[in-house]
């Protein structure tokens, strides 16, 4: 039997209709983003065939080498979003400063932050990569160009967040706080169709995800936690399995469905970890929390961090409530032990 099918666009519109004060603007903004996602998906799928792979030779502002597809995705999102009249400003992981709306176009009330392509080190080897986005309402006066202040809002203020994974199929997951929903792209008709309604993350999982190559540099509490996960005990489902793709978007996507924990911690070489608060951690945290999970930097809820700069990094522990609580306990216990010594 064929199930009633729901396109992503219709879902967004119907979701917004439930709010009496809604103007429909957020729906239009999200629909523009969907177009960018389709275009990027097409290009990612063709990547192996085209002369698009390889480095551009430039470094991005984080000093990392940028691949062509990163810039392509960045430009596609900008081009899809600059003229809709819904945004007042944008910011991208690939650009140092805030991105203004060109003079020729209308200025709106929303703010868009994005990681155009996440997991770019996986591009050449056909491993899942993705796009992450985060939407806020502006705080500066209406009608004028948006400002840095509009972009530097705590994650709690997000009105919507989502990501697209370009994997064995292309999936878009988004939330406006009212549930987390997943849509799979049917390439033959070019539509995202509702495939995962109201996603709920398990309260506890049995998978941990972290770059274990950095073990030597970790916090002692984190070392103990990982060793504890590897011990055998039936009642607590141990040992856990280890999975690490190296694309946050794909690692968190798996965590959302199977439960468990994804971590990118601080270490003695990188006291703030690696992942970016505004483009990666805030949107993924909004999604995971809306699905019933938790996200913390080890001491504080990610969504409550007041940002100081556009590209700031933060440690992150994100996933099932029980698993995130436990890693926090291991780390704070170790801190207490050290204080006593």
Q: Which residues lie near Mn ion (CB under 5 A)?
A: 93, 115, 117-118
Rounded to a whole number of angstroms, the distance between the first and last alpha carbons of the chain is 67
Check residue 65 for interaction with ligand AHG (CB under 6 A).
no
The piece of 116-124, 191-199, 231-239, 331-339 that touches ligand AHG (CB under 6 A) is: 116-124
Query: Given the complex with Mn ion, which of 12 and 135 has the nearer CB atom?
Result: 135
* 3-class DSSP string for 128-162: CEEEEEEEEECCCCCCCCCCHHHHCCCHHHCCEEE
Partner touching 274 among ligand AHG, Mn ion, none, CB below 5 to 8 Å by kind? ligand AHG
Residue 239 found at the interface with ligand AHG (CB under 6 A): no
Residue 219 in tokens: 């916090």
SS3 assignment, position 202: coil
Pair 331, 112: CB distance under 8 Å: no
Asked whether 341 and 321 are in contact (CB, 8 A), the reply is no
Which of ligand AHG, Mn ion, none does residue 211 bind to, with CB < 5 to 8 Å depending on kind? ligand AHG
Other Cβ atoms closer than 10 A to 57: 8
Question: Could you say which residues in the range 92-111 bind ligand AHG, by CB under 6 A?
Answer: 93
Find the shortest distance in angstroms from Cβ 283 to ligand AHG. Answer: 12
Beta carbon of residue 242, minimum distance to ligand AHG (angstroms, whole number): 13
One of 119, 205, 221, 260 touching ligand AHG (CB under 6 A): 119
Backbone torsions φ then ψ of 242, nearest 5 degrees: -110, 130
When the beta carbons of 16 and 93 are compared against Mn ion, the nearer one is 93
Q: Give the per-residue contact string, 258-277, with ligand AHG (x = CB under 6 A; - = no).
A: ------x---------x---
Phi and psi (nearest 5°) for 170? -95, 125
Binding residue for ligand AHG (CB under 6 A) from 115, 150, 267, 328?
Answer: 115
Cα separation, 198 vs 273, in Å, equals 31
Contact segment (CB under 6 A) with ligand AHG among 33-41, 51-59, 115-123, 281-289 equals 115-123
**Does residue 248 touch ligand AHG according to CB under 6 A?**
yes
DSSP assignments along 11-49, one per residue: HHHHHHHTSTT--SHHHHHHHHHHHHHHHHHHHHHHTTT
| Cβ-count burial 100-124 (b if 16+ within 10 Å, e if not) | ebeeeeebbbbbbbbbbbbbbebbe
Count residues contacting ligand AHG (CB under 6 A)?
11
The Cα–Cα gap between 8 and 81 comes to: 18
Using CB under 6 A, which of 178, 211, 241, 336 touches ligand AHG? 211
- The one of Mn ion, ligand AHG, none whose footprint includes residue 67, by CB under 5 to 8 A per kind, is none
Closest CB to ligand AHG among residues 176, 285: 285
Comparing CA positions, the residue from 242, 237, 236 lying closest to residue 262 is: 242
Omega prior to 21 cis, within 30 of 0? no
Of 85, 154, 239, 246, which one interacts with ligand AHG (CB under 6 A)? 246
**Where on the chain is the footprint of ligand AHG (CB under 6 A)?**
93, 115, 118-120, 211, 246-248, 264, 274
């Amino acid at each position: 039997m064929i199930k009633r099918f729901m396109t992503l666009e219709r879902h967004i519109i119907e979701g917004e209709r439930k709010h009496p004060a809604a103007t429909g603007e957020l729906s239009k903004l999200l629909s523009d983003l969907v177009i960018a996602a389709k275009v990027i998906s097409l290009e990612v799928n063709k990547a192996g065939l085209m002369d698009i792979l390889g480095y551009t030779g430039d470094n991005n502002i984080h000093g990392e080498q940028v691949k062509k597809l990163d810039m392509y995705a960045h430009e596609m999102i900008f081009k899809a979003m600059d003229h809709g009249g819904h945004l007042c400003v944008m910011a991208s992981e690939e650009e140092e400063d805030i991105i203004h709306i060109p003079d020729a176009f209308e200025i709106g009330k929303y703010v868009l932050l994005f990681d155009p392509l996440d997991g770019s080190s996986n591009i050449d080897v056909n491993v899942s990569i993705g796009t992450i986005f985060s939407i806020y309402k502006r705080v500066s006066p209406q009608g004028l160009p948006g400002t840095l202040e509009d972009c530097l809002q705590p994650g709690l203020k997000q009105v919507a967040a989502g990501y697209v994974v370009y994997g064995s199929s292309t999936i878009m997951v988004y939330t406006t706080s009212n549930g987390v929903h997943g849509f799979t792209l049917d390439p033959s008709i070019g539509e995202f169709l509702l495939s995962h309604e109201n996603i709920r993350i398990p309260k506890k999982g049995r998978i941990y995800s972290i770059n274990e190559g950095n073990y030597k540099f970790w916090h002692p509490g984190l070392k103990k936690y990982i060793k504890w996960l590897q011990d055998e005990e039936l009642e607590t489902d141990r040992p856990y399995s280890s999975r690490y793709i190296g694309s946050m978007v794909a690692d968190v996507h798996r965590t959302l469905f199977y439960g468990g924990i994804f971590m990118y911690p601080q270490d003695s070489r990188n006291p703030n970890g690696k992942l970016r608060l505004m483009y990666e951690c805030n949107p993924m945290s909004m999604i995971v929390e809306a699905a019933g999970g938790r996200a913390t930097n080890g001491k504080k809820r990610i969504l409550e961090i007041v940002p100081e700069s556009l590209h700031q990094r933060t440690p992150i522990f994100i996933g099932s409530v029980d698993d995130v609580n436990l890693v926090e306990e291991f780390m704070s216990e170790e801190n207490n032990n050290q204080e006593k010594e």
